Amino acid sequence: MQRTFRGISAALVGLGLAVLVGCTPTAAPSPIPTPSVPTCVPLDGASPFPCTQADFDALAEQRALYEEAEAVLRRYQAEVDRQEADWSLREMTPELLDTTTGAFRQATQQLIDQDRHDQARRIGDAVPIAWVKWTPAEARGGSVATIQYCVDGTRERYVTKDSPDGSAGVAVMRKYFFTRTDGQLKIATSDAERVPSC
């Protein structure tokens, strides 16, 4: 009787294993991955386009350069705004030396000297930057980045010792060309154009 029971138990165990083996789900084959194509977003605001990984990496490097250039430009503009509020503050500060070089530094120094002589100052708040545009297609004299922007000073007034009533400010579109000097990005030269508005 014991032998029969063992035989039945063995048969049941074998049957159970067979059922378990038969019910094991089969793994679905993994789908073949489709290679992803990078999308490049031009710095000048043009429409994105599919590109190679090399192009994508180069554009990312260029974007970092322009972010650095814009930060330098905003530092320069903030220091100019601070000084324009009081002619006695007009001097070539470490911040201006740190953000300018070459012909642009000389032009900045000349403007400071003129403002101190005229005792020129701004009446009103700092002139806001209306817009900023990166223009990598443009270059001058070995520049590595070019930024265009517009400032609207039409709500401000500027007075001098000879003109205490002052005159209204203007809207100006400027283009700044940056070079790397001693490993640091600085404004090297610029263009300015008076415009009706920004």
Distances (CA, A) of 122 to 28, 167, 197: 73, 10, 19
pLDDT-derived band at 5 (thresholds 50, 70, 90) equals very low
Closest to 99 (Cα-Cα) out of 174, 175, 177, 185 = 185
How far is it, in rounded angstroms, from Cα 184 to Cα 72?
10
How far is it, in rounded angstroms, from Cα 170 to Cα 187?
22
How far is it, in rounded angstroms, from Cα 122 to Cα 111?
14
Fold type of domain 39-195: Nuclear Transport Factor 2; Chain: A, (3.10.450)
How far is it, in rounded angstroms, from Cα 27 to Cα 24?
9
Give residue-wise pLDDT tens across range 12-26: 334 343 433 444 555
Give residue-wise pLDDT tens across range 124-175: 888 889 999 999 999 999 999 999 999 999 989 999 999 988 898 999 999 9
pLDDT at res. 22: 45
With contact defined as beta carbons under 8 Å apart, do 167 and 139 qualify? no
Indicate whether 198 pLDDT > 60. yes
Which has more pLDDT, 167 or 34? Answer: 167
What pTM was estimated for this model as a whole? 0.78
Provide DSSP, 28-43: PPPPPPPPP--EE--T
How many Cβ atoms are within 10 Å of 146's Cβ, its own excluded?
21
pLDDT at res. 128: 85
Give residue-wise pLDDT tens across range 82-128: 999 998 999 999 999 999 999 999 999 999 999 999 999 999 888 88
Cα angle at 149 between 146 and 140, to 5 degrees? 25
pLDDT at res. 23: 47
Interval 179-197 mean pLDDT: 95
Domain extent listing, the chain: 39-195
